[in-house]
Amino acid sequence: MSALGRQIQEYLGHIRVERNLAKNTQDAYRRDLQRYEDFLSEHGVTDISGVSPDLVAQYQAALMSTDSGLARTSANRMLAAVRGLHSFALKERWTVTDSCALLVSSKPAVRLPKALSVAETLKVVEVLSAAESPIDMRDYAVVEFLYSTGARISEVVGLTLDDLDLQGGSVRLFGKGSKYRVVPIGGAAVAALERYLVRARPSFVKQTTNVVFLNRKGESLGRQSAFNAVSRCAELAHLKQSVSPHTLRHCFATHLLEGGADVRVVQELLGHASVTTTQIYTLVTQQRLREVYSMAHPRSRR
C-alpha cells in the first residue's frame, strides 16, 4: 500500500473512532476517497504531500463534467470528503500546503420533492389494508408506518420492539448524526403494526430478535426489500409515477404543512438539523397552491 493509501485509511479511522460518523457516511467517504486515490494514482501521486491545488481543481472539474454522470449533490459530497482528508493531513503535518484552499462547492439547483396528493398517497398506503398473507400484512405495516411518521428508510429497517410505544402512540427513531427523536404514530399505523406483530411477525421469526420488520429468513428487512414493498403498493394502486419510501416522507411533510403545521414542528418530526432543509417543503405547497389557483380560479387566465 502506498503512503497515500495509508493516509486515507488513517483518516477513515479518524472519522470512525474520533468523529463517530454514521456507518452510511463512513461507507460513502470510503467509496469517495477510493475514487480520489485512483485519480491521484493516475497522475503519479503516491503521497498526499504531492497534491497541488491545480490537481484538486482538475479533480473537481472531472466530477462536475457531464461525462462523469454524477448529480451535482453527489459531486459536492465527494469534494467534501476530499476537503476533509486534506484538512486532516494539515493537522497531522503530512503536508504544509492546503490543496483545497481554493476549492468551492458548486451550489446545486433547488429540486422540489415530488409529493403525491393526499388521495394518491392513501391509495398507495391502503391498497394492502385487507390483505391476509404475512408478507402483505408486513408490507402494509411498513407503508403505513412510513407515511404516518415521515421516517427515513434506514430508521424503519433499524426499528426495534423497544422503540415502539403503541399504547402511547409514539415511536423512538434513531436518525442521522446518531440522534434520537420521538414521533407520534397515527391510529391507522398503530392498528397496522399491531396486526403485523400479532398475526404476521411470528411466522418470520427464526431466532430471538428485537427487530420489528423481518424478512422470510427471520433477518432484518433490507432497504431494498422495503423499497420494493412501497413500489409494489404503488403498482397495485395503479399509480403511473414511481413511488419510493422517500416519496412517502415527502408526502408526510408536504401534507402536514398543507394542513397548517408549523415548519419548525415538521423540522422536529423529520429530524432535520436545520430548518432550512425543511423549508424546501414550503416551496412544494406554494407550487401546489399556484397550480390549483391556475386550474380552478376563473380569473387566473387573461
Residue 141 grid cell? 405495516
Question: In terms of pLDDT, which residue wins out, 7 or 300?
Answer: 7
Decide if pLDDT at 302 tops 50. no
91 is catalytic: no
Decide if pLDDT at 105 tops 70. no
One-letter amino acid at 34 equals Q
Alpha helices in 150-244 (DSSP H): 153-157, 187-195, 201-204, 223-236
Cα 63 to Cα 31, 73, 99, 228, 283: the distances in Å are: 14, 11, 17, 31, 29
Confidence of residue 20 (pLDDT cuts 50, 70, 90): confident
Question: In terms of pLDDT, which residue wins out, 22 or 234?
Answer: 234
Contacts 24+ apart (CB under 8 A), 214-219: 214/138, 216/135
272 is catalytic: yes
Q: Catalytic pick from 16, 172, 176, 223? A: 176
pLDDT (tens digit per residue) in 24-45: 889 999 999 999 999 999 999 9
Contacts 24+ apart (CB under 8 A), 48-53: 48/3, 48/4, 48/7, 48/85, 48/86, 48/89, 48/94, 48/95, 49/89, 49/94, 49/95, 49/96, 49/97, 51/86, 51/95, 51/97, 51/99, 52/97, 52/99, 53/97, 53/99, 53/100, 53/101, 53/102
* Predicted local confidence at residue 109, as pLDDT: 60
Q: Report residue 263 CA to chain centroid gap.
A: 19
Give residue for cell 399491531: 194
Lowest mean per-residue pLDDT among 133-137, 178-182, 196-200, 253-257: 178-182
Q: In what order do the strands lie in the sheet with 180-184?
A: 164-165, 170-174, 180-184
C-beta of residue 235 within 8 angstroms of C-beta of residue 256: no
246 is catalytic: yes
Q: Catalytic pick from 138, 201, 249, 250? A: 249
Q: Catalytic pick from 59, 147, 196, 281? A: 281
Q: Catalytic pick from 86, 201, 250, 272? A: 272
43 is catalytic: no
Task: Give the helix, strand, coil percentages of the chain, each rounded to 5.
Answer: 60, 5, 35
Which stretch, 94-108, 130-144, 171-185, has highest mean pLDDT? 130-144
> Does domain 118-296 sit in CATH 1.10.443.10?
yes
- Percent of the chain at pLDDT exceeding 70: 94
Cα 235 to Cα 61, 78, 103, 261: the distances in Å are: 40, 35, 44, 30
Stated as kind and residue range, the H or E segment containing 87 is: helix 72-91
**DSSP codes joined into one string, 202-215:** HHH-SS---BSSB-
14 is catalytic: no
Question: In terms of pLDDT, which residue wins out, 126 or 261?
Answer: 126
Identical topology for domains 3-91 and 118-296: no
Q: Catalytic pick from 152, 201, 232, 250? A: 152
The mean pLDDT of the chain is 89
pTM: 0.64
122 phi, psi to nearest 5 deg:
-65, -35
C-beta of residue 159 within 8 angstroms of C-beta of residue 211: yes
Q: What average pLDDT does the segment 222-230 reach?
A: 95
Confidence of residue 108 (pLDDT cuts 50, 70, 90): low
67 phi, psi to nearest 5 deg:
-70, -20
Q: What average pLDDT does the segment 142-152 reach?
A: 95
The domains of the chain are located at 3-91, 118-296
Assigned superfamily of 3-91: Tyrosine recombinase, N-terminal domain (1.10.150.130)
Confidence of residue 251 (pLDDT cuts 50, 70, 90): very high
297 is catalytic: no
Cα 142 to Cα 188, 190, 219, 250: the distances in Å are: 12, 11, 15, 16
